[in-house]
């Protein structure tokens, strides 16, 4: 048995709650269907070519659309986006279209929804999707960028949204 197999999942989640993460909404569209999910598991992989990594929950069947569509946008949130982050995290159990109606969205190269006033948005084509444990790891080649006005970032730390 490896050390990783011996770590208690609850203890691991408690430790990760002390890991500050920038709050983002990852979005996609496939035909008339749009999907968006609040995430903190996202990062840069490379600047040449520009590549990002995003993790979405594999146990939610609705997240299969990210692989099926072959595109996604990673939208970095500012402090004033907290209600949007909560909606896309499933708080209030709003249907997708009501979640999207809470903000203005643009379309860049791939057609994935890009938040008009995001701190930064990365419009991506999917390079690879791989299931790792409970999550789908998405690697995306950045096809276009959009930057909204500068503002304090929204982070998630100790199981709460905070502004930085």
pLDDT digits (tens, 9 = 90+) for 79-103: 999 999 999 999 999 999 999 999 9
Q: DSSP class of residue 118?
A: -
pLDDT, tens digit, 9 for 90 and up, residues 56-69: 999 999 999 999 99
Decide if 75 is inside a domain: yes
Q: Write the DSSP symbol of residue 119.
A: S
Q: What is the pTM of this model?
A: 0.93
How does DSSP assign 4-67, residue by residue?
Answer: HHHS-HHHHHHHHTTS-EE-EEEEEEETTEEEEEEES-EEEEEETTEEEEEEEETTSGGGGHHH
From the list 76, 78, 51, the residue with the least C-alpha distance to 137 is 51
Domain that holds residue 125: 22-156
We report the CATH number of the domain holding residue 65 as 2.30.110.10
Asked if the structure places residue 16 within a domain, the reply is no
> 10 lies in a domain?
no
Is residue 66 assigned to a domain? yes
Can you tell me which residue has the tokens 């600047």? 47
Q: Is 53 a domain residue?
A: yes
162 domain residue, yes or no: no
């Amino acid at each position: 048995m490896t050390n990783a197999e011996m770590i208690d999942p609850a203890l691991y989640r408690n430790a990760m709650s002390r890991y500050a993460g920038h709050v983002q909404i990852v979005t996609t569209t496939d035909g008339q269907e749009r999907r968006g999910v609040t995430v903190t598991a996202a990062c840069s992989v490379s600047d040449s070519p520009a590549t990002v990594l995003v993790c979405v929950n594999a146990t939610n069947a609705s997240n299969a659309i990210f692989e099926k569509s072959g595109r996604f946008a990673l939208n970095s949130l500012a402090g004033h986006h907290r209600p949007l982050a909560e909606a896309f995290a499933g708080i209030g159990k709003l249907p997708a279209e009501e979640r999207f109606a809470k903000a203005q969205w643009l379309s860049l190269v791939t057609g994935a929804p890009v938040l008009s006033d995001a701190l930064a948005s990365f419009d991506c084509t999917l390079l690879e999707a791989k299931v790792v444990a409970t999550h789908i790891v998405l690697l995306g080649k950045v096809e276009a960028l959009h930057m909204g006005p500068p503002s304090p970032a929204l982070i998630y730390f100790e199981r709460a949204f905070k502004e930085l």
